[in-house]
Structure 1
């Protein structure tokens, strides 16, 4: 078997429980892929998006319905080494990438406030725009289980709101376009194990403005790293606490929520408090 075939086999066989089954469960549970879709699988060059690309290829090959894929790589101003690593891995994995250029890094380099936020927003918009131009109705991003629970905690602790990373979203700026996250239930540790088993090396941070993380450090000291450390500490005392966080996002008890927003409108428990005669704490 060729290298790419061995890698594909490892997803379906060796890591069937940890990766393939959870990938499929995400697709089915959140209704992410439908008959006739044309999906732009967005590849940053990291382990998550590259594994997603292979899983989507396998789903297309073995799935029950027909859909099209475009493997989209945006070059926002990579240094030469990162660009070469991405192209080399795509060739090794037999992922037929479509690369397009942008000047996002040059633009972001000129701002002092929240460059990461601006960069992420611009990258998302550029991916939507190119995918729509190519006739796609969805873009797929490689966010995984750990990204989901870390984002939820960051929202609570640093933004003073309970806000999750959704498995799919309709675009507010690009008509008839949707974002999906097929890796939603796949854990980062299992992605790392798959990477090591297949002796693969991916870029970890493509930011030209932080050259120290070209192929290594991906942001020690960031808020996300703080969340990783916090969850790791909590798991030492309470195994399964990460799954509890994930499950709680699917199990919100609105009877005990003081206030919430829906479609821009704020609602309070006082709105129907007098009409509700049930003591929910009994």
Structure 2
């Protein structure tokens, strides 16, 4: 996927769900993975021509794993002229040494988001961008159906009352395969995850299930995504089509 196509998908999401307003200061949550680095490129590119002017910063929550070097991300942010902040935490030690969690994902996500949102507020940002793509949205819906018995996926835009912060997901229309292509084409400086349960989660199960379904029934992932967009899910904003 070329940058121009990424920007087209990003603008579609931003326009259809009114994600960006004049004067916003948006923090991009950077894990160091391919998705968040692609999102950084997307918003940096959009910033150059989007009619509503906005500021951009980047922030990483360092979970405290050894040998996790974010200096390549720091160099990229310097190259793009995007202010970059690293928040040091002991989340990995708390999860695996103190609590010895066998299923740490839910608690890790909660602690990570808490640290990220707090840092974003302290940086003076009013919005934070998460790097969830189309596959994430479909996988979340499947996980909700299978394990919770409800038709749900996270919203393109969510206002967090307690934090007075808006979460946006600008690459929601991008397929993970295109993210991988973008990462390879532009040599994104991916920082490998050091999490010991990476690849052994319920989300990985959902990812493989979607892949299998789409192989057996070509186009099923897109149809599931369309069902989500049209599903009147509670908490989702109104979709504005035919934006000029």
TM range (shorter): 0.7 to 0.9
Normalising by structure 2, report the TM-score.
0.86
Distance between the aligned counterparts of 1:138 and 1:71, measured in 2?
11
Aligned alpha-carbon RMSD (Å): 2.3
Match of 1:31 among 18, 22, 37: 18
- TM-score by length of structure 1 reads 0.75
Q: Which runs of 5+ in 2 are unaligned?
A: 236-244
SS in structure 2 at match of 1:41: strand
Q: Is the 8 A contact 2:20 2:52 kept in 1?
A: no
Corresponding pairs, count: 233
Find the counterpart in structure 2 of residue 248 from structure 1.
227
Match of 2:208 among 218, 224, 229: 229
Per the alignment, residue 91 of structure 2 pairs with 104
Give yes or no for the alignment of 1:179 onto 2:158: no
Contact 1:53 1:95 in 2 (8 A): no
- Cα distance between partner residues in 2 of 1:200 and 1:38: 24
What's the offset of the Cα at 1:86?
3.4
Superimposed CA distance per residue, residues 56-114 of structure 1 (whole angstroms, 9 cap, x where no aligned partner)? 11111111121111111222213234334433544566544122222222222222263
Structure number with greater CO (CA < 8 Å, separation at least 6) is 2
2:143 maps to: 154
Distance apart, 1:248 and its partner CA: 0.7
Alignment of 1:202 with 2:181, yes or no, is no
Give the corresponding residue for 2:48.
Answer: 61
CA distance in 2, matches of 1:137, 1:181: 14
Pairing partner for 1:116 from 97, 100, 105:
105
Unaligned runs of 5+ in 1: 1-6, 254-259, 264-282
Q: Distance in 1 between matches of 2:201 and 2:94?
A: 22
Please give the alpha-carbon distance, in whole angstroms, between the structure 1 residues aligned to 2:206 and 2:102: 22
Counterparts of 1:226 and 1:24, CA distance in 2: 31
